[in-house]
């Protein structure tokens, strides 16, 4: 996530775009003088590591407390999963190429919210092999007469370099992002690069000829090796193409996926839907513990990788669909097919209402929600809780040490439908809801009380308690018109349980 943030483009262009890398470094050293806890010369200027000057234990404490606060209305948190060695964990590194004022070739990251390139030679988060490869490329450009791309004039060739290092396999993919498809002496360039780094297993040219802050363009040409790398997570092998999403911190990803599968509590019989599945990672790890798995993902390349991955791992009980997850969920809900567990791992923006609505209609017993953005997670949990789900467990995982980002995995379960009904005479207008009431239906409150407290309560009792809480204003809510005087009165324990439900649904 850190790189995503660094790449943010607020659309502003600065008149004086160029930096002198030396000036830059001096300036940032001065800044860091007052921040003795970090040795990074571009701390703050780069904007990638907001917490680099905070000792790691304190970072973890801060993240844990923040998440506890954000999720306090839903459930208590399981132990936060921190990282044992929180350095050089990013196995995907993207460097933007440019020139400083003196014409020296630099590579690094966009200063947050701008198109200034902050030169980075050694990053405390990035894989060191990846940084060394990027340094070699910087050194080779001159002798190969490859110009860096200039965003203002549109001249030049090399825009970015993306390096991905397989954690378990050691395979290395280098993607050269060029402004045009012609790369001079590409074979010799690969030869020279591999002479320094024989560990490179594939080199791909990606063409991005658009004025955009997106790193990768559409077209690709493999100039060395197979055009992808493989990596292993939780015992499965995964093919990773340049454009496929694959988590950047493999050590913590294993812990995250293990927690997600633990929460799913699979017995070997379930139908599992892995939504926003990327290259099929979570679904494939779940497949050996489930009856069958369905994966859905929007990105074509990722789905292609997912299909190959299933074959490669000899997993036959998994199918993939390339589709918008919301649309797909709607179709599944309408088809009447049964799904027991939904695993969902949406992007930072969270899930769509179409998806969540279809999810509620599909009504799986369990939902395991993996999120990289607590704010959208809370928003989506609120929606699901109102529609009859309860958050059972949640756990924070530090996927991005030294940054403010935090990953969360949550388990939600469907509250059972009430098995017994008690008939109560109430007029229809007594069941009208005001806007304050509309947060949870009488049925949802009854389900919650039965599930959590083992008590059956009537609409009348709920209405009585609501009135006591000041949610219902009208006089007749706790009175049946037909029997104005003798009303059964809600007992103390039931009242307590109903109050708990009202609190749970955020109504009091």
Residue 247 near ligand SAH by CB under 6 A: yes
CA gap 309, 108 in Å, rounded: 33
**To which H or E segment does residue 302 belong?**
helix 300-312
Of 68-76, 271-279, 359-367, 480-488, the segment contacting ligand SAH by CB under 6 A is 271-279
Q: How far is the CB of 137 from ligand SAH (least distance, A)?
A: 27
Of the two residues 206 and 459, which places its CB atom closer to ligand SAH in the complex?
A: 206
Residue 342 CB contacts under 8 Å (≥ 6 apart), including other chains? 272, 273, 275, 359, 362, 364, 366, 367, 368
Q: Is 73 exposed, middle or buried (0-12, 13-18, 19+ CB in 10 A)?
A: middle
Of the two residues 137 and 277, which places its CB atom closer to ligand SAH in the complex?
A: 277
Hey, CA dihedral for 470, 472, 476, 478, is it positive or negative? negative
Reading the block at residue 502, the tokens are 């009202």
Cα separations in angstroms, 146 against 44, 101, 141, 190, 203 = 31, 18, 5, 13, 16
3-class SS string, 397-412: ECCCCCCCCCEEEEEE
* Window 285-314: contact mask with ligand SAH (x via CB under 6 A): -----------xxxx--x------------
* HSE-up (13 A, CA, CB side) for residue 289: 17
Q: How far is the CB of 356 from ligand SAH (least distance, A)?
A: 12
CA dihedral 106, 108, 114, 116 (to 10 degrees): -10
Of the two residues 403 and 478, which places its CB atom closer to ligand SAH in the complex?
A: 403
Residues 40, 123, 236, 372: which is the catalytic one? 372
Q: 């701008």: which residue's tokens?
A: 114
Per CB under 6 A, the list member of 130, 162, 264, 325 interacting with ligand SAH is 325
Residue 471 near ligand SAH by CB under 6 A: no
Using CB under 6 A as the binding rule, the residues of this chain from 347 to 406 that contact ligand SAH are 347
Nearest to 206 by CA among 186, 232, 188, 231: 186
Of the two residues 241 and 281, which places its CB atom closer to ligand SAH in the complex?
A: 281
* Window 195-234: contact mask with ligand SAH (x via CB under 6 A): ----------------------------------------
Of the two residues 32 and 281, which places its CB atom closer to ligand SAH in the complex?
A: 281
Nearest to 490 by CA among 460, 466, 454: 460
Of the two residues 193 and 273, which places its CB atom closer to ligand SAH in the complex?
A: 273
Of 129-137, 270-278, 304-312, 476-484, the segment contacting ligand SAH by CB under 6 A is 270-278
277 is annotated as an active-site residue: no
Q: How far is the CB of 238 from ligand SAH (least distance, A)?
A: 9
Residue 346 CB contacts under 8 Å (≥ 6 apart), including other chains? 275, 276, 325, 355, 371, 376
Per CB under 6 A, the list member of 32, 241, 281, 371 interacting with ligand SAH is 281
Nearest-CB residue for ligand SAH? 278
Residue 132 near ligand SAH by CB under 6 A: no
Q: Judge contact between 231 and 238, C-beta under 8 A.
A: yes
Q: How far is the CB of 233 from ligand SAH (least distance, A)?
A: 9
Of the two residues 247 and 408, which places its CB atom closer to ligand SAH in the complex?
A: 247
- Residues recognised as catalytic: 372
Residues that bind ligand SAH in the complex, under the rule CB under 6 A: 245-247, 276-278, 281-282, 296-299, 302, 324-325, 345, 347
């Amino acid at each position: 996530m850190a790189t995503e943030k660094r790449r943010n483009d607020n659309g502003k262009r600065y008149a004086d775009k160029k930096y002198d890398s030396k000036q830059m470094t001096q300036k940032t050293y001065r800044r860091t003088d007052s921040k003795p806890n970090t040795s990074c010369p571009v701390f703050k200027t780069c904007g990638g590591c907001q917490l680099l000057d905070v000792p790691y234990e304190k970072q973890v404490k801060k993240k844990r407390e923040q998440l506890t606060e954000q999720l306090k209305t839903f459930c208590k948190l399981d132990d936060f999963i921190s990282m044992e060695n929180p350095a050089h964990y990013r196995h995907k590194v993207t460097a933007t190429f440019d020139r400083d004022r003196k014409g020296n070739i630099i590579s690094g990251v966009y200063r947050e919210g701008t198109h200034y390139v902050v030169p980075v030679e050694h990053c405390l988060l990035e894989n060191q092999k990846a940084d060394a490869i990027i340094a070699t490329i910087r050194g080779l450009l001159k002798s190969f007469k490859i110009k860096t791309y200039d965003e203002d004039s549109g001249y030049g060739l090399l825009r970015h370099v993306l390096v991905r290092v397989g954690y378990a396999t050691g395979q290395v993919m280098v993607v050269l992002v060029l402004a045009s498809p012609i790369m001079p002496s590409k074979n010799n360039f690969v030869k020279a690069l591999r002479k320094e780094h024989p560990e490179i297993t594939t080199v791909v040219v990606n063409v991005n000829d658009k004025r955009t802050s997106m790193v990768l363009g559409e077209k690709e040409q493999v100039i060395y090796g197979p055009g992808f790398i493989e990596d292993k997570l939780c015992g499965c092998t995964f093919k990773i193409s340049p454009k496929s999403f694959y988590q950047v911190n493999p050590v913590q990803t294993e812990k995250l996926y293990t927690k997600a599968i633990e929460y799913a509590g699979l017995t070997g019989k379930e139908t599992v839907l892995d939504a926003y599945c990327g290259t099929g990672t979570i679904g494939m790890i779940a497949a050996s513990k489930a009856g069958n798995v369905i994966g859905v993902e929007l990105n074509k390349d990722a789905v292609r990788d997912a299909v190959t991955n299933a074959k490669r791992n000899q997993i036959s009980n998994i199918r993939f669909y390339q589709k918008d997850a919301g649309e797909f969920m709607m179709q599944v809900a309408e088809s009447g097919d049964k799904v027991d567990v939904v695993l969902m791992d949406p992007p930072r923006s969270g899930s769509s209402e179409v998806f969540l609505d279809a999810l509620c209609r599909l009504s799986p017993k369990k939902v395991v929600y993996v999120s990289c953005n607590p704010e959208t997670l809370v928003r989506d949990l609120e929606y699901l809780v109102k529609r009859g789900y309860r958050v059972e467990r949640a756990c924070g995982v530090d996927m991005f040490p030294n940054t403010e980002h935090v990953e969360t995995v949550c388990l939600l379960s469907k509250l059972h439908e009430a098995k017994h009904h008690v008939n109560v005479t109430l007029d229809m207008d007594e069941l009208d809801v005001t806007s304050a009431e509309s947060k949870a239906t009488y049925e949802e409150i009854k389900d919650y009380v039965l599930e959590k407290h083992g008590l059956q309560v009537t609409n009348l009792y709920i209405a009585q308690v609501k009135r006591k809480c000041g949610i219902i204003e009208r006089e007749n809510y706790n009175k049946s018109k037909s029997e104005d005087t003798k009303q059964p009165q809600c007992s103390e324990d039931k009242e307590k349980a109903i109050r708990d439900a009202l609190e749970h649904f955020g109504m009091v």
